[in-house]
A and B are shown apart, each in its own frame.
Chain A
């Protein structure tokens, strides 16, 4: 009897399908239920000439850890590629985020050309480069 016969094929296939479906579902639900520790707000943008100033609020949602996050900002085109990017710095605080506390970060982007502003710029984004728990 052939080892890789139709019955074996069917069993292996069914096993992979069931396992795959289950894994996809479990991992999907687990990932979806994860909450980011540092919650980042919508970027607020002010444009003067070809300089964009971006301000964002970051909130520490943890119960006990103090974070000193490194926050990035970028202007992206519709393909998701950066037209310009940089790092935002704390606006008025020292950047230490106590549990449940929020802080404003601000940064500027100066490398975007006028043509890019007109034709390519899709959105401004802010993101956590490093959560960086404070020492």
Chain B
């Protein structure tokens, strides 16, 4: 039966199932999490290595008889070196393989750590420090550009939030380094800290370099977005890119905002312990360790803001990244003012932690927004300019605080400079917000022009002509699923789906599609991947690569409960009931996708009991005490209460008597009449051919369509099943 044929009206019909518009929360799947984890670890090691030498100043001072000026030179030389080399690394990141840049840079930085450990005097320490500053920028601007191409556009803030954790975690390693230095000497700490640099360098060397701008093209649904290398049309040589950056208003707004933020936070970081000692009578050790609350606040901030910005962006707030970052920074100001004004230490620390949370929360959405408004071939340069500006501001900040404190006092200085955080936020909320949409759209247009030019198409088509929807016009995924009509293509489609259990690969690039309506059987021997495929469609498992489309929408990363709300219900193999719950509770469990419609759930329950009459008198009995056939009825009944558009059934007949199987097949015939589409996984050829309209054959992780069931010979198919040929 097809979708165009008559559909029997029933209370169990999927068309009567209320499917509200809801927010889809995708997990980071279908995209490898590994690069994000690795780049975050590299960031963490980078930060710890950066502060390793300053943390050993007392030991170095004694060993080499260094003056404070000498130590200051060591600290300053690093900053000079970083400032000088960040910009060239930005250029390299835009032009060459970013994974290789990080790999070589990190290796050089490991060698530098060993060199520093071998230092026999000030000169070697200075050279080592400058060399470290030289290699340090191989990581940050490059990694941000890489992350933009590894992960989907709509998850950028979240990804940047996780990446930012690396910076905070880097400081955690410093006490470990301190303990090592005390126990084994400062030289051994440098030697041991060099080892992780080499290890991560080797790991990052093996990372696959993503095609530049591929996620931007995928986001615009440009065919081949993930694999095709596209030659950019923009001028990316000489100073032209920088002129472009300076003309990009939203980028400049973010640059100024970040610089203002650093100008404030750099000083706070240095002077906050003194403030606590001076105004709250804390001990030095207490004040220093109290600053840890700031790190905790920051950690919460980066993780929450990234998720929030992505959530709002997908919820019809296309400029949410700028808005969240801007408001977060502005909101930090009152808490800073409270923290610096009140005499109660606990409240001061709490306010400081909340203020830091808001201030740092601005970083991930801003980083994501900066990527949005920069062409894929300019992101390295954009991030590097931003990094230089921030590091100069961070360096100048403590000096400004010190001068102002000498003129007035530290508390007044803190209060006077707190509005810098508001300046940072307001810059985003005014200039940033006014220009972000336009600049992001310009980048999308340029990416599109690059793409079509590379395919040899003439330029100048409008968005409508090539079917591109702007994010603010785009329907939500649940709306799009509802709006889909059978003429739009297959109801369910998998594309190049791979799945492995650890090292054992089970699905090998599975491509298959089924139309709406009818029953489609997937047959195959035990262990060929049928259940794995069904679990991937149901969302219980996430494929390592490839995609699953349901009613034209990519299901990648959507958890199983949300897939059920979209209309997909999985009836798992075996007796998939909750044995300790009553039959009624088991059946009613299926109604959660349309929570709130109790009346409909009750009506469906009644209908189910009409179909499965043996369950009528057993509603209060525990499901685990039912016979195998009755339990299968409960499982199927529960699936039907959900009113699925697509019902996935795994081994309906497994372990059941033929008469019971026959009864269940009759029920399936009825379900088909409601307009539900069934994908049935079966080992029994007889069962599959009895109920299915089309049959697919699966063996060793590959699916082959065999065509209409009526054309298939059961004996030949059974033979093939035994032989396992695709």
A16 and B111 contact, CB distance less than 8 A: yes
- Identify which of residues 1-39 in chain A touch chain B, using a CB-to-CB cut-off of 8 Å: 9-10, 13-14, 16-17, 20-21, 23-25, 27-29, 31-32, 34
**A32 touches which of B65, B185, B199 (Cβ 8 Å):** B185
Once the chains are docked, how many angstroms separate the CA of A110 from the CA of B56? 25
A20 and B110 contact, CB distance less than 8 A: yes
A24 and B71 contact, CB distance less than 8 A: no
Once the chains are docked, how many angstroms separate the CA of A80 from the CA of B201? 32
- Given contacts A21-B198, A21-B199, A118-B277, whether A81 and B62 have CB atoms under 8 Å apart is no
A125 and B58 contact, CB distance less than 8 A: yes
* Chain B residues whose C-beta falls within 8 Å of the C-beta of A21 in the assembled complex: 195, 198-199
Once the chains are docked, how many angstroms separate the CA of A76 from the CA of B71? 13
B62 and A20 contact, CB distance less than 8 A: no
* Chain B residues whose C-beta falls within 8 Å of the C-beta of A119 in the assembled complex: 274, 277-278, 284
B117 interface contact, C-beta 8 A: yes
B71, B118, B198: which has the most chain A beta carbons within 10 Å?
Answer: B198
* Chain B residues whose C-beta falls within 8 Å of the C-beta of A27 in the assembled complex: 114, 117-118, 187-188, 191
* Chain B residues whose C-beta falls within 8 Å of the C-beta of A99 in the assembled complex: none
A28 and B192 contact, CB distance less than 8 A: yes
B409–chain A nearest beta-carbon distance, Å: 13
B273 and A31 contact, CB distance less than 8 A: no
- Given contacts A31-B185, A81-B57, A119-B278, whether A24 and B194 have CB atoms under 8 Å apart is yes
- Identify which of residues 355-395 in chain B touch chain A, using a CB-to-CB cut-off of 8 Å: none
What residue of chain B has the Cβ atom nearest to residue A127's Cβ? B62
* Chain A residues whose C-beta falls within 8 Å of the C-beta of B202 in the assembled complex: 14, 17
Once the chains are docked, how many angstroms separate the CA of A32 from the CA of B607? 76
Once the chains are docked, how many angstroms separate the CA of A86 from the CA of B192? 33
A72 interface contact, C-beta 8 A: yes
* Chain A residues whose C-beta falls within 8 Å of the C-beta of B114 in the assembled complex: 20, 23-24, 27
B288 interface contact, C-beta 8 A: yes
A93–chain B nearest beta-carbon distance, Å: 23
**A76 touches which of B58, B104, B111, B187 (Cβ 8 Å):** B58
Main secondary structure of the interface of A (DSSP, over half): helix
Give the contact-size bracket for chain B: 35 or more
Once the chains are docked, how many angstroms separate the CA of A72 from the CA of B185? 18
B116–chain A nearest beta-carbon distance, Å: 12
* Chain A residues whose C-beta falls within 8 Å of the C-beta of B284 in the assembled complex: 78, 119-122
The 8 A CB mask of A85-128 against B (1 = contact, 0 = none) is 00000000000000000000000000000000011111001010
Main secondary structure of the interface of B (DSSP, over half): helix
A78 and B71 contact, CB distance less than 8 A: no
B107 and A80 contact, CB distance less than 8 A: no
What residue of chain A has the Cβ atom nearest to residue B285's Cβ? A122
Give the contact-size bracket for chain A: 20 to 34
- Identify which of residues 189-221 in chain B touch chain A, using a CB-to-CB cut-off of 8 Å: 191-192, 194-195, 197-199, 201-202, 205
A31 and B188 contact, CB distance less than 8 A: yes
B27–chain A nearest beta-carbon distance, Å: 33
A20, A24, A127: which has the most chain B beta carbons within 10 Å?
Answer: A24
- Identify which of residues 266-282 in chain B touch chain A, using a CB-to-CB cut-off of 8 Å: 273-274, 277-278
B192 and A24 contact, CB distance less than 8 A: yes
* Chain B residues whose C-beta falls within 8 Å of the C-beta of A48 in the assembled complex: none
* Chain A residues whose C-beta falls within 8 Å of the C-beta of B285 in the assembled complex: 122
B641–chain A nearest beta-carbon distance, Å: 58
- Given contacts A13-B103, A21-B199, A72-B62, whether A31 and B191 have CB atoms under 8 Å apart is yes
B473 interface contact, C-beta 8 A: no
**B185 touches which of A34, A125, A129 (Cβ 8 Å):** A34
- Given contacts A24-B194, A32-B188, A78-B284, whether A17 and B278 have CB atoms under 8 Å apart is no
A52–chain B nearest beta-carbon distance, Å: 15
What residue of chain A has the Cβ atom nearest to residue B273's Cβ? A78
Once the chains are docked, how many angstroms separate the CA of A9 from the CA of B61? 40
What residue of chain A has the Cβ atom nearest to residue B108's Cβ? A16
What residue of chain B has the Cβ atom nearest to residue A128's Cβ? B62
A74–chain B nearest beta-carbon distance, Å: 8
B68 interface contact, C-beta 8 A: yes
Once the chains are docked, how many angstroms separate the CA of A62 from the CA of B205? 48
A32 and B277 contact, CB distance less than 8 A: no
Once the chains are docked, how many angstroms separate the CA of A10 from the CA of B274? 50
Minimum-distance CB pairs A-B, first 10: A80-B57, A28-B191, A32-B184, A31-B188, A24-B194, A80-B58, A127-B62, A28-B192, A27-B191, A32-B188
B residues with a Cβ closer than 8 A to A are 54-58, 61-62, 65, 68, 71, 100, 103-104, 107, 110-111, 113-114, 117-118, 183-185, 187-188, 191-192, 194-195, 197-199, 201-202, 205, 273-274, 277-278, 284-285, 288
New A-B pairs, 13, CB < 8 Å, besides A20-B114, A81-B68:
A13-B201, A16-B107, A17-B201, A23-B191, A24-B198, A28-B188, A31-B191, A32-B185, A78-B288, A80-B56, A80-B58, A80-B71, A122-B284
Chosen A-B contacts, 7 in total, with CB atoms closer than 8 Å, are: A16-B107, A20-B198, A21-B199, A24-B191, A118-B277, A120-B284, A125-B62
A residues with a Cβ closer than 8 A to B are 9-10, 13-14, 16-17, 20-21, 23-25, 27-29, 31-32, 34, 72, 76, 78-82, 118-122, 125, 127, 129
